Amino acid sequence: MELFDLGGRTALVTGASMGIGAALARGLAEAGARVVLNARNAERLEEAAQGLRDAGHAVDTLAFDVTDADAVRAAIDGYVQTRPIDILVNNAGMQHRGPLEDFEIEAFDRLMRTNVNSAFYVGQATARHMIAQGHGRIINIASVQTALARPGIAPYTASKGAIANLTKGMATDWARHGLNCNAIAPGYFETPLNAALVADPAFTEWLEKRTPAGRWGRVEELVGAAIFLSSKASSFVNGQTIFVDGGITASL
């Protein structure tokens, strides 16, 4: 369908070598976009890229640290000399668990740099070019913890709440320039970030009872929302956070 066709578009996906980022990159490529994969580990990044190339997709790679503002700007400014970036998926993130009263300051700072600062750095560097070209789509990856909290992850919850409000701010400042800025908030998905929880039978039992859908999410189930927010179909959607969570935030 033309409304959802991403042919001729280029999408940069951060944290794209595995998990949600890899799944979203593949989904956007299957919808017709050229995808630009980002991660710090160049070897793992190239493996992910080759898998997409083997499937017939157009793929580039940009290995840079999303928490280094200078490296971010240099990489993006350099890439757009070749072709414009039409879509940005700010997916890079991390988790660190621990009691809030004992949470290490260094761990808190590292988590915030990875989950919040990076979205600002990459978002700003990319938006400057999108503003100049008069259009662009930015998708920030939030979380079910944007709206809810659980013991042991208060700083992560704070970071994902910040992502939702940063998304609103991006839309407020940049919509007039032709940018659509929204967020996707995944629930509990089977990813490397959640490996410890997936391996915990007690947690899985709790999650299956707590989630109306009764199961873990599959990363492929995030692709539809990403295509929607990247395409003409969402032309008047701005500043929103879409929860893809099996109903967990809708139910007590």
Q: Do 184 and 222 contact (CB within 8 A), yes or no?
A: yes
Cα angle 184, 190, 191; round to 5: 75
Q: Compute the chain's Rg from CA coordinates.
A: 17
Per-residue confidence (pLDDT) for residue 177, from 0 to 100: 98
Query: What class does CATH assign to 2-244?
Result: alpha beta
Give me the phi and psi of 10, to 5 degrees please.
-120, 130
How crowded is the C-beta side of 9, counted as CA atoms within 13 Å?
A: 25
Which residues does 119 contact at the CB level (< 8 Å), separation at least 6? 90, 140, 163, 166
For residue 117, what pLDDT is reported? 98
Residue 185: the pLDDT is 98
Catalytic residue among 79, 121, 156, 188: 156
Domain positions in the chain are 2-244
Kindly report the backbone phi and psi dihedral angles of residue 104, in degrees, each rounded to the nearest multiple of 5, phi listed first: -70, 135
Dist. CA 155–CA 159, nearest whole Å: 6
Q: Is 246 helix (H, G, I), strand (E, B) or coil?
A: coil
pLDDT at position 194 is 85
Mean pLDDT for all residues in the chain: 97
Which pLDDT value is given to residue 147? 97
Vertex 216, ends 210 and 219: CA angle to 5°?
Answer: 140
Does 156 qualify as catalytic in the annotation? yes
Measured CA to CA, the distance from residue 69 to residue 65 in angstroms comes to 8
Which stretches of the chain score pLDDT less than 50?
none
* pLDDT confidence of residue 193: 78
CB atoms under 10 Å from CB of 83, counted, come to 11
According to the model, what pLDDT value does residue 192 have?
Answer: 82
| Residue 229 burial (CB count, 10 A) | 23
Q: What pLDDT shows up at residue 196?
A: 86
The whole-number pLDDT of residue 1 equals 79
- In the prediction, which pLDDT does 111 show? 98
- Report pLDDT for 69: 98
d(CA 245, CA 31): 23
